[in-house]
Structure 1
Amino acid sequence: MTATTPSDDVIDLRSPEFASDPYPVIERVRARGGSAPALFVDAMDAVLVVDDEDVRTILGDRRFVIDPANVPGRGTRSARADALRGMGVRPDLVTYMTESLLDRDGADHTRLRKLVSRTFTVRRVNELRPKVQRVTDDLLSRLPDLADEDGVVDLMPHFSYPLPIAVICDLVGVPEEDRALWQAWSGQLGRFDPTQPELMNDTLGEMIDHVKGMIARRHEEPGEDLLGALVRTHDEDGGRLSENELVTLVFTLVVAGHETTAHLLGNGVETLLRHPDQWTALRSRPDLLPSAVHEMLRYGGTAVITNLRYAAEDVELRSGRLAAGERAIAVIAGANRDPRVHPDPNRFDITRHEGEPGEAHVAFGHGVHYCLGAALARQEGEVAVGSLLAAYPDLSLVPGREPRRASSPGALRMESLPVRLSASRS
Structure 2
Amino acid sequence: MKSIWTDSVKPPTFKKLKGQINTDVLIIGGGICGILCAFFLKQQGIDYILVEGDTIGSGITKNTTAKITSQHGLIYDKLIRSAGHEKAKMYLDANQLAISKYREVCKNIECNFEDKCAYTYTLTDIKKIEKEVRAVNSLGFNCDYVDKTNLPFDIKGAIEFQNQAQFNPLKFIYEISKDLNIYENSFIKDIGLDDHIAFTNDAVITAKNFIVTTHFPFINTHGSYFLKMYQHRSYAIALENAQNVNGMFVDEAKNGMSFRNYENLLIVGGGDHRTGKSGGNYTELRQFVQKYYPNSVEKYNWATQDCMSLDGIPYIGHYSKSTANLFVASGFNKWGISSSMVSAMILSDMVVGKTNEFQEVFSPHRSMLKLQLLVNGFEAVTNLLTVSTKRCPHMGCALKWNGTEFSWDCPCHGSRFEENGKLIDNPSTGSCKSLKKS
TM-score > 0.5, shorter chain as reference: no
Q: TM-score, normalised by structure 1?
A: 0.24
Name whichever structure is richer in helix by fraction.
1
TM-score normalised by length of structure 2: 0.23
